[in-house]
Structure 1
Amino acid sequence: MALVHPAYGRLRQVTENAAVMLAENPSVMSLEGTNTWILRAPGADECVVVDPGPLDEAHLARVAQVPVAATLISHRHFDHTEGAGRFAELAQCPVHASSPDHRYGGGSELSDGDVVEAAGLRIRVLATPGHTADSLSFVVEDDRSVLTADTILGRGTTVLDDTDGDLGDYLSSLRTLIGLGQGYTVLPGHGPELADLETIARDYLAHREQRLEQVRAAVRALGEDATARRVVEHVYADVDRSLWGAAEKSVNVQLEYLRSFA
C-alpha cells in the first residue's frame, strides 16, 4: 500500500497571514511537491493565492474553496504554473505574472516594486532573478514573511536553470534578500518554512560561492574546455548520482559565469 504524504490535501496555517496547500507532485526537483500559498489577513473574506501549481483538479479545487481576489505567479516553471489557467476559471480571479504566457483572467504584469493590496494585506513584489530570469519573491510585511519560490528552498539548494538562469543575478538576488534584514520567515516554493531569511540567504550565498570555487578548481584540473558533465563528476563525486542531472544544470550556469570573465 502506497504511503500518502501527511500534508497532501490539507490546508496548513504557517503564519498569521499565510497557509499552505501542498500539491501532490513530488520529484527530485520539487521535493515533496509544490507549495501553493494562500494569503489573507485575519477576518478577510478573500485571499491571494501564490503559485496554483500543477494541473491537478483536486488540488486546484481545494485551493479555490476560499474566494480568491488575485493569484500571483512566482516564475515560469510548470510545477508552479501548469494549473494557472484552469485555476483562473475555477476561482474566477485574475492571475498576475511577469510573463504574459502565465497571465489569465485579465491578469496584469508583475514587476519589481509593485504592491498588491488585497485580502487585507500589502504584498510587495521583489525581483529575484537567477533561478530563472523571471523569478519573483513576495514580501508580506504584515507578518514579516517572504515567499521565496525556488530562489530559496525549504531544504537543500536551488538549481539554476541553464535555459535562462544566471549566476550573477542569483548572487545579487541573495544579497537583496539579505538586505531585507532580520526576522523574516521564509515561505518557499518547495519544502518546509524556515526561520530568519537573512541567515538562510547568507548560508545560500556562502554555499554558492564555495561551489563556484570548486567548479573553478575543476576547470583548472580538467581544462578550459571541460564539459558540465565532467565538472559534475569531479565536484559532485560524493553526491547521489540521481541528483547529477540537476547539478549539471547549475554547473552549466556556473561555467557560463566563469567564462564571461575569461
Structure 2
Amino acid sequence: MQPHTEFVPALQLTSRAAVRLAPNPGPMSLEGTNSYILRGAGSEHAVVVDPGPEHAGHLAALAAESVDLILVTHRHHDHTEGIDTLHRLTGAPVRAFLPEHCRAAEPLRDGEWIEAAGLRIQVLAAPGHTSDSLCFFLPDDGTSGSMLTGDTILGRGTTILDAPDGTLGDYLATLDRLAAAPDALVLPAHGPVLESLHKIVAGYRAHRLERLGQIRAALAELLASGVEQPGIVQVADIVYADVDPSVRGAAEISVAAQLHYLGDLGEY
C-alpha cells in the first residue's frame, strides 16, 4: 500500500459506523459484503468488522483507516478471505469466534464487552446461519444503538441456514435473543441498513414458521403420493418450485435444516 494513496471516503451510516462495500456482488452476497468501520466520538482509530474478500483495493482502503482491531461475524469466505492481508497491512489483531480466524488475539466470547477505538461493543453469540455466527451491539450509536448482524439478518430477503452446521433450532433461539435486545438499527453484512431490529426479527420469525408449514405440507403431499421417505430434492421441488436456479443450492440447504428440525421434533 502506498502511503500517499487517496481513497473515496467510506459511506457514513450512523454516528459510529461507516461502510465500505466490497466488490463481490452475487446471488448470495447481494451487492457485496459490507465491511464496517467503527469509531467512537473523536477517535482517530477504528474497528473493522468483516474484512471481506481478498481484493487489494478494498483491503488497502480499509487499512488506511488506522485500524486498531478487526472483528469477524462468521466463517464464510466472503467475510474472512481478507483477514491475513488486512492483519499484515495494519498489524491489528483479528478476533472471531473460531480460533482459526484469530490473529494475535483470543477468540471472542458470548457476552464479552470490547473497548477499542473509543467504542463499547458487546459480543452476542447468534448461531443458526452458522454455528459460529456473532452479532455486535454498539449501545452508544444513536438513541437505541446499532446491531451489526452479519448474515444472521440481511438488508433484504432472508438468510440461509448452512446445514448441517447451521440449524433452525439455533436460529429461532437467536431470533428470540435479538427480540429481547434493544430495538437497535440493523447493520447487516449484506444489503442496506434497517430501521428496527424488533420489526425485522418478527418478520424473520414469521417467514421461518411459514416455510416450516410449507415443508410439512410438502411432506404430507409426497407421502400421500406414495413416496415412503421424501428427500431434500423432492421437498425443494415443491416448496421452492419458482426459485432462481442460481440459489437452488441454498434452497436445498435450507430444506435440509428444516427437515433436521422436524426430525428433532419426531415429525420426519
Letter matched to residue 63 of structure 1: L
1:10–1:22 contact (8 Å) kept in structure 2 = no
Match of 2:263 in 1: 259
Cα offset, 1:45, TM superposition: 1.2
Segments of structure 2 that go 5 or more residues without pairing to the other structure are 1-6
Identify which of 107, 110, 126 aligns with 2:108: 110
1:148–1:189 contact (8 Å) kept in structure 2 = yes
Segments of structure 1 that go 5 or more residues without pairing to the other structure are 1-7
Match of 1:227 in 2: 231
Letter matched to residue 244 of structure 2: D
**Structure label with greater radius of gyration:** 2
Match of 1:169 in 2: 170
- Counterpart CA distance in 1 for 2:8 and 2:99 is 30
Match of 1:192 in 2: 192
- Secondary structure of 1:49's aligned partner: strand
1:13-55 Cα shifts (integer Å, max 9, x gaps): 0000000000001111111110000000121011001000011
1:28–1:243 contact (8 Å) kept in structure 2 = yes
Cα offset, 1:129, TM superposition: 0.2
Match of 1:92 in 2: 91
- Secondary structure of 1:186's aligned partner: strand
Identity %: 52
TM-score, normalised relative to structure 1: 0.94
Cα offset, 1:213, TM superposition: 1.0
1:35-79 Cα shifts (integer Å, max 9, x gaps): 000000121011001000011111000011111110101100000
- Secondary structure of 1:148's aligned partner: strand
Cα offset, 1:10, TM superposition: 5.3
Cα offset, 1:185, TM superposition: 0.4
1:9–1:23 contact (8 Å) kept in structure 2 = no
- Secondary structure of 2:177's aligned partner: helix
Match of 1:130 in 2: 128
Q: Counterparts in 2 of 1:203-218, with a 5 A limit?
A: 203-218=203-218
1:124-146 Cα shifts (integer Å, max 9, x gaps): 00000000000000000011000
- Counterpart CA distance in 1 for 2:8 and 2:188 is 18
- Counterpart CA distance in 2 for 1:19 and 1:207 is 30
- Counterpart CA distance in 2 for 1:110 and 1:225 is 41
Match of 2:252 in 1: 248
Cα offset, 1:217, TM superposition: 1.2
1:184-227 Cα shifts (integer Å, max 9, x gaps): 10000101110011000110011001101111111111136212
Is residue 59 of structure 1 aligned with residue 58 of structure 2?
yes
Match of 2:37 in 1: 38
Cα offset, 1:243, TM superposition: 2.3
Match of 1:3 in 2: none
- Counterpart CA distance in 2 for 1:241 and 1:217 is 23
- Counterpart CA distance in 2 for 1:87 and 1:228 is 39
- Seen in structure 2, the aligned counterparts of structure 1 residues 171 and 160 have a Cα distance that, compared at 3 Å, is same
1:23–1:35 contact (8 Å) kept in structure 2 = yes
- Counterpart CA distance in 2 for 1:54 and 1:258 is 35
- Counterpart CA distance in 2 for 1:202 and 1:151 is 13
TM-score, normalised relative to structure 2: 0.92
- Seen in structure 2, the aligned counterparts of structure 1 residues 129 and 55 have a Cα distance that, compared at 3 Å, is same
- Seen in structure 2, the aligned counterparts of structure 1 residues 10 and 249 have a Cα distance that, compared at 3 Å, is farther
- Counterpart CA distance in 2 for 1:101 and 1:112 is 17
- Counterpart CA distance in 1 for 2:232 and 2:135 is 29
Deviates more, 1:56-65 or 1:218-227: 218-227
- Secondary structure of 1:123's aligned partner: strand
1:226-262 Cα shifts (integer Å, max 9, x gaps): 1211111101123333322111111111111111121
Runs (4+) of structure 1 moved beyond 4 Å?
none
